[in-house]
Structure 1
């Protein structure tokens, strides 16, 4: 576990496996007179399905929040990071550590097993806060959790809607083989396909020994109008699959979930492909509103300032998460800078302008998500990502209503 404090201090924590470190900020951090507000971070940087960009986003956000925003009501933000290795056992162990550390809230880093942390956190009245609940069990209920972005179902529904409206009739999408993935492929995708009237199939690839030539071959043989990924465990997965599909001369539209790095490495192969997102991305900056362009510039400044960091979708998403949390809590009274107070504050947000995202309203009795809106982009020949619509896509509410926790 690692801690990212507000002051330039490196210390050894009493807990075994914990260390204190500070990200390198682009600017100097102020001196704080108030005690820190400490949050936990379920960090999925290790294990078979890592999301290393999340760690980069957290470090960058701490630098920005403490360096430019002045912390939260004058309190520096401090993060206790715990590597979940994406397994339920580690998520549960991390939750117990967060309870011991008396954190105010826990940030979810797009974990596939975050639900394992919920019993301990809920008992201690520590809310789980995230962007997209990658664990479908976490996303199925609203108790003691708030997610600023849309549920998984929104991205599938929104994308399938857009594909169908563009005349696409068949879709084959791959997903890493985990228990959570089977909820999506085996249960969710068939229902969505039938409801929306599109032929959609799902296939799996191994988390530990993926063969993207075989995945690409399966997609190419079926020859769907759209082929690609439901979600990607890493940018490398997207690059490998796109390369394999192009080598097989697949002519359909390649869908790469939320990946963007492959566009820079091979824009010619990327052109014509599609990707979705919960927030605006740097590749789409030229098409974004002026205020969003300013936010992208700010986020890029801090993310690029993290030594050895991993930029990309997850870095920007996690950066946005902590900024949203900090700005929301900055409006709360001192008495609410606690676990129950944080949950109350977040659940009460109405038309809240999220960083790089839409305005959201939280507090649904049935969904932990504050919005169902998403963006879908098409990669252009110049390597930019252009939105397929003028604004945010709202998936069909009637379809989402059939999915627990979606609305």
Structure 2
């Protein structure tokens, strides 16, 4: 099946009209597909469709934006765009500790008992622990990015709307190479998954792209940011920072420490966004990645992403919780989940039927990201495209390449599940 690029724009524009006092015309029906998801102010009714959520809300590596994004998305989906085919989504929210795989296993069993039709991966670094349980129950895993490399290495029983983790590594290093920067030192928490990413992905990808890569590890609890910044700055690498981060606070503290030790290279801060607000003009020149458009770059976003981003921001702001990368990524994941299933005309909501519909998505303009093509035999990801943002002014970012970066497919093919 094929999706019209203007479809999501129509949803967001009509929602914006309802939420504001601006007068909007209803004459333009050129992008209408006739589904309930296009009717602004349509409240979902009937029996809820249960979806599980692996929510990293416990332990030392919490991501509060997942909760904010989920609640905001449910408000938008269930009260504005008619849910999924007219029925509301009900999220079975299960808190996980990303340092304890047993918590992910416990949540997977809870989802089986609750009879969910899909499980949303809230950026769980231990998601692989859930896959045997979900697979045996025919419950698909759905997310934005598989933070666990084992989960991302296979395509069966899972769909991810964003790119694989390797795409961010390759895209960032391609950008460095284009700027004639040939050295990179990145830090990450001293956890097994981090060693897998750095030792198994980062070093060989750097070799393929001609970039000297070094890794620095810090204790996951209570890192000394000044000492870490000094270690990163040793040898004056062309770029230094974080490829992944347990939270935005880690990014902000490290960025401030890199400034304090007079590091002059490119500061790279994973998927963080709060440092942009906190540091203001001092953040200029720093870079971060994302699978979707983020508010600091709204002026650079094309339609329909610009209108959709403004809509997402309204609903996320209404929650009053943690915003940032994880909030917008989760919001976009749930909206794309609802819209694609509505357009597919799914009426019998079972795990296999949901998975079949998502795997059939073709040329679909996602809510805040690129066009998606799912269902490849070699990867669970619907795209490899990623955004690399650079802070260009006080609380403002722009995409480094002007838009989405397509990582080198030959390099990605070296990583299981990445291409």
TM-score (norm 2): 0.89
**Residue in structure 2 matched with residue 149 of structure 1 by the alignment:** 162
Name the stretch that deviates more: 273-282 or 383-392. Answer: 383-392
Give the 5 Å matches for 1:3-402. 32-86=44-98, 87-307=100-320, 309-402=321-414
Distance across 2 between alignment mates of 1:224 and 1:278 = 26
Deviation track 1:139-190 (CA, whole Å, cap 9, x = no partner) reads 1101100000000000000000001110111110111222111111111111
Distance across 2 between alignment mates of 1:133 and 1:216 = 28
Q: Secondary structure at the match of 2:234?
A: helix
Does the 8 Å CA contact 1:46/1:52 hold for their aligned counterparts?
no
Q: Give the number of aligned pairs.
A: 381
**Residue in structure 1 matched with residue 23 of structure 2 by the alignment:** none
Distance across 2 between alignment mates of 1:393 and 1:147 = 18
**Residue in structure 1 matched with residue 4 of structure 2 by the alignment:** none
Q: Secondary structure at the match of 2:216?
A: strand
Distance across 2 between alignment mates of 1:214 and 1:135 = 28
Where in structure 1 are there 5+ consecutive unaligned residues? 1-25
Q: Secondary structure at the match of 2:146?
A: coil
Does the 8 Å CA contact 1:65/1:71 hold for their aligned counterparts?
yes
Q: Secondary structure at the match of 1:174?
A: strand
Distance across 2 between alignment mates of 1:148 and 1:32 = 24
Where in structure 2 are there 5+ consecutive unaligned residues? 1-18, 21-39
Q: Alpha-carbon deviation of 1:291?
A: 2.0
Q: Alpha-carbon deviation of 1:382?
A: 2.9
Distance across 2 between alignment mates of 1:211 and 1:141 = 37
Distance across 1 between alignment mates of 2:351 and 2:122 = 19
Does the 8 Å CA contact 1:29/1:66 hold for their aligned counterparts?
no
Distance across 2 between alignment mates of 1:71 and 1:224 = 49
Distance across 1 between alignment mates of 2:199 and 2:45 = 53
Deviation track 1:249-272 (CA, whole Å, cap 9, x = no partner) reads 011110111111111111222101
Q: Secondary structure at the match of 1:43?
A: strand
Does the 8 Å CA contact 2:346/2:357 hold for their aligned counterparts?
no
Name the stretch that deviates more: 27-36 or 378-387. Answer: 27-36
Distance across 2 between alignment mates of 1:380 and 1:202 = 27
Distance across 1 between alignment mates of 2:382 and 2:43 = 34
Does the 8 Å CA contact 1:295/1:355 hold for their aligned counterparts?
yes
Q: Alpha-carbon deviation of 1:332?
A: 2.8
Distance across 2 between alignment mates of 1:48 and 1:70 = 37
TM-score (norm 1): 0.91
Q: Secondary structure at the match of 1:346?
A: helix
Does the 8 Å CA contact 2:41/2:81 hold for their aligned counterparts?
no
Q: Secondary structure at the match of 1:266?
A: helix
Does the 8 Å CA contact 2:44/2:78 hold for their aligned counterparts?
no
Give the CA RMSD over aligned residues.
1.5
Distance across 2 between alignment mates of 1:164 and 1:367 = 26
